[in-house]
Structure 1
Amino acid sequence: MAIRSEVEHWDIVIVGAGIAGLASAIALRQNGRSILVLEKSSMNKEVGALISLQPNASKIVDGWNMSPFLSEKKPMVDEAFRLLNVKGELQVEMKLNTSQFGADRMLYHRQDLHDALRQAATSKEMPGEPAVIRTSSGVTGCDCDSGIVYLSNGSSVRGSVIVGADGIRSAIRDEVIKGSKSEGSKAIPTGLSAYRVLVETDKLPKLDVSEDVFDLKRSATTMIVGHDKRVIMGPGRGGEMFGLVCLVPDPNPEGEGTSWNNPAPLEEVLDAFQAFPQWVRDIISHAPEAALWQLRDIDPLTTWTKGRAIIIGDAAHAMLPTQGQGASQSIEDAEALQAFLSTIDSKSSADDIHEQLLAIVNARYERASLIQAYSRLQAKPAASQDNKTVQLNPQEFMQYNCNYSGAKDWVKRQRDAEELAYKQTAARA
């Protein structure tokens, strides 16, 4: 389709105003650079759930000077990861601290984190030009070579760079992978679903459990594993909220229940976890509501970029929540855009832009794909047959996941490691 002069032009067009899209809008802000974010929803209500940013992502967010927007949201430092068996017996306690990876693991209410990112993306107080967010602007596809993005209302916009941050059902992904070996790749049911439960802490009664085992006031993440199920839970919003993600075998594997907003009766959740400690069930029973979310991911794609377009976040590498890295990998993607597109402007040629987009993919693909695989691996049954011991090592992948200081540093470290391995091999020859 020919580009008509009346099609408005932006330096960066970001499709999707979730965590990946808004983080990218912050990272890509520069003086003189125009950024448009297209969001299909009205953004009146973000999902009510708790979310964590791992140290690899917290370090990046700290570098964006986000504290004016985050501090009022009552973020919490996650001080430990505690693993219990289904009888409520502590199996593993792993202390978390800043000195390990240069940043903390932070706990947020998802709505609060989303709101802070939106404020920072559009604030005049942040460096560079504020991004413009257009809601109720669904995208149906794009022309990757020309940079034209097509909207469901029949209009279109043009970007020198298109960032597809439009989630696991990405319309931009369909265009990027068209003609590649991964053409037709769709979200895959993983055999798991998750009940999400959020409770106001002051609504909970005194729980019949020793503080050594569990304490609502402890700023920590607790996981209980057994009977092909698991509960991952922890505090948020300064301790005002307590959230649980309750994983179960998918009750409807052929269904389309990928939404976070499918309501579920509390009785259904309680019945599914009747073999778990009563104090866990007491927490669940005081929730105002529950929602069931079918867990899907995607197989690694053969490419994330085509022409002027690149996909990031769940659009590129949707992963299970078992590593807690989904949002953190989106933040890493945004930082990679920042690092490799710093010299790109409206005068840059299509070849220069695509060269830098390829560099981003080369920097991010192997790492994100491996963490995606780790997340699948940790979704496998993690308890012994008698459910007395938990066969899960929460430290197994932490060094790889969290010891990260940005895309260009990662590329250098990988190159240095390859050179060292080559020299060692040559020395032995």
Structure 2
Amino acid sequence: MPTASEVHQGQDGVRITIIGGGIAGLATAIALRSPTRTITVLERSEMLKETGALISLQPNASKIVSSWGLAPFLGLCEPLVDTAFRMFNQSGKLVRQVNLDFARFGADRVLYHRQDLHTALKNAATSTDLPGCPVEIRTASRVTSCDPYKGTVTINGGETLDADIVIGADGIHSVVRQAVVGEPREAIPTGISAYRMLLPVESLSGLKIPKDVLDIAKPVTTMVVGHDRRVIMGPGRGGKVFGIVALVPDENMHETSAAGSWVAQGSIPALLKAFAGFPAWMLEIFERAPDVGLWQLRDIDPLPRWVRGRTILIGDAAHAMLPTQGQGASQSFEDAEALQAFLADLPDGPTGQQVNEALLRVYEARHERASLIQMYSREQARPGTDVGSNKVKLDPAQFMKYNCNYSGAKNWLAAKDMGIVVEKLSLSGV
């Protein structure tokens, strides 16, 4: 009987199985499209709808998206370019304003409705208008096991799929993670929960808020901070909706998430109680929300490995992070670009060793950077609460440069290979 490696070598082209049809999985499917590749995405849900919330792509990701020629698909999302950041204290006084000019980074910070972005990526992945073969998306295909060396995955019902490359993009609940890491690595409660709201802009008519405090129509990110609570808000979908995320420590909550779930229906009265003493205009916006969701925020510690055999972890499966820096989705696009770069030269029917070496280069280019952003996002969510835990010695301006100066995985890894300190390279904009 031939070995798995011998079976793979006898095939034409390159067969890729992507586990997970979220933003990370679909972005990777688009990045890897090629006339000689057969790409299958396995998604456990029916993919009827994506979570309704606003999401941003930072300049490091926007540059990647632009290079893929996705404008015809993303234009239908009615994206907004974020123009400024404003921070208020608990009494409602403006304490900081930064006009966002990302021209020096070569791309903008772009705001999307998450469901619109997901739909656009799905349409692009399966389109015949982009280079390469359209991607096959199989819904209701829950992966139950993975053999990372053979490149096989088994889905509900017992069917086994064989591939040259397996990409675990199955999120924070990843099934593939244990197969790759070799031991369970569960998501970690962070002590923070988030109320999420999405309001139609017309529902905010009549609010008595001075325009110099909050202009609902302007593409500006507004934050209100008080002690251990913060609210981030801004428009989306071409200015048709207004999104809000309100972060609270778990111990300050007046309700609990449903047992066994990280997501539950929230309570407007409990939300108002949690933010008592904040500006009256902000509480009035809360009162107009048609409904509110409640998320217990979790992340994972940096993993010791993302690669085993023919299999690699990406996105939240590899580096789930808190939303404080808005980098979760953007890091998934960086993962996709890295795979695009380092798998480009793989021959048809690659051996297990060839695949493994290419995937390890992806890991080498991505792990240090993603882990730093992951840790910084955690630290900014709960500053000072963990004595001695602050390991990232960058101030916010330095961190922005660290993010936005990124110019692709090969450039990043080349700098490391030459002995250049990556942090200094990114900060200098070289």
TM-score when scaled to structure 2?
0.90
Alignment correspondent of 1:162:
166
Tell which deviates more after alignment, 98-107 or 269-278.
269-278
Inter-partner Cα distance in structure 1 for 2:19 and 2:421:
38
Equivalent residue runs for 1:17-416 within 5 Å: 17-178=21-182, 183-250=183-250, 251=253, 252=256, 256-259=260-263, 262-381=264-383, 394-416=396-418
The answer on whether the counterparts of 1:257 and 1:293 sit within 8 Å (CA) in structure 2 is: no
SS of residue matched to 2:381 = coil
Q: Provide the residue aligned with 2:389 in structure 1.
A: none
* C-alpha deviation, 1:215, in angstroms: 1.0
Whichever residue aligns with residue 17 of structure 1, its letter is: G
CA-CA distance at 1:166 after TM superposition: 0.1
Structure 1: distance between partners of 2:347 and 2:29: 15
Distance (whole Å) between structure 2 residues aligned to residue 345 and residue 279 of structure 1: 60
Give the superposition deviation at 1:65.
Answer: 0.6
Offset of 1:36 from its aligned partner? Answer: 0.1
Query: Equivalents in 1 of 2:136, 2:422: separation in Å?
Result: 46
Q: Partners in 2 of 1:420 and 1:287 — Cα distance?
A: 44
Q: Any conservation in 1 of the 2:257–2:294 contact (CA below 8 Å)?
A: no
Mark the CA change 1:27 to 1:45 in structure 2 (over 3 Å): closer, same or farther.
same
Q: Which amino acid aligns with 1:151?
A: I
TM-fit CA distance, 1:395: 2.7
| Contact residue 257 and residue 295 of structure 2 kept, 8 A | no
- Once the two structures are TM-superposed, the CA of residue 394 in structure 1 deviates from its matched residue by 4.2
Local SS of the residue matching 2:41: strand
The answer as to whether partners of 1:225 and 1:382 remain within 8 angstroms in 2 is no
Give the distance between the partners of 1:414 and 1:222, measured in 2 at CA: 37
Larger mean Cα displacement after TM superposition, 78-87 or 202-211: 202-211
How far apart, CA to CA, are the structure 2 residues paired with 1:345 and 1:240?
Answer: 47
Q: 1:420 to 1:40 in 2, by over 3 A?
A: closer
Question: Judging changes above 3 Å, is the alpha-carbon distance between structure 1 residues 134 and 420 closer, same or farther for their aligned structure 2 residues?
Answer: closer
CA pair 161-53 structure 1, distance change in 2 beyond 3 A: same
Deviates more, 1:211-220 or 1:132-141: 211-220
User: Offset at 1:148?
Assistant: 0.7
Structure-2 separation of matches of 1:382 and 1:354:
40
- Cα separation, partners in 2 of 1:316 and 1:191, compared to 1, 3 Å: same
How big is the shift at 1:417? Answer: 5.6
1:418 shift after superposition: 2.4
Distance 1:382 1:71 in 2: 41
| SS of residue matched to 2:397 | coil
Q: Secondary structure at the match of 2:321?
A: coil
1:238–1:253 CA distance, 2 compared to 1 (3 A): closer
Question: Offset at 1:254?
Answer: 11
* CA-CA distance at 1:412 after TM superposition: 2.4
Tell me if the contact between 2:36 and 2:348 (Cα under 8 Å) persists in the aligned partners.
no
Normalised TM-score (structure 1): 0.90
Q: Is the 8 A contact 2:82 2:100 kept in 1?
A: yes
Over 3 Å counting, the alpha-carbon distance change for 1:393 and 1:224 in structure 2 is: farther
Counterpart residue identity of residue 410, structure 1: W
How far apart are 1:413 and its partner, in Å?
3.2
Change (3 A) 1:38 1:352: same
Q: Structure 2: any 5+ residue segments left out of the alignment?
A: 386-393, 424-430
Report the more deviating stretch, 282-291 or 65-74. Answer: 282-291
- Does the 8 Å contact 1:21/1:165 carry over to 2? yes
Identify the range of structure 1 (87-96 vs 320-329) with the bigger mean alpha-carbon deviation: 87-96
Distance 2:342 2:276 in 1: 51
Total equivalences in the alignment: 405
CA distance in structure 2 between the aligned counterparts of 1:382 and 1:83, rounded to whole angstroms: 20
Identity value in percent:
54
Q: CA deviation at 1:222?
A: 0.9
Report the CA distance between 1:209 and its aligned residue: 2.5
Q: Deviations over 1:2-57 (max 9, x none)?
A: 87x9xx99710000000000000000001121000000000111110000000000
Amino acid at match of 1:371: I
Q: In structure 2, what is the Cα distance between the partners aligned to 1:77 and 1:420?
A: 28
What is the distance in 1 between the residues matched to 2:156 and 2:178? 16
1:258/1:295 contact within 8 Å kept: yes
Per the TM alignment, residue 314 of structure 1 is displaced from its structure 2 partner at its CA by 0.3
1:269 Cα deviation from its structure 2 partner: 1.4
- Work out the CA distance in 1 between the residues paired with 2:375 and 2:398: 13
Stretch of structure 1 that moved more, 204-213 or 346-355: 204-213
Give the deviation of 1:396 after TM superposition.
4.4
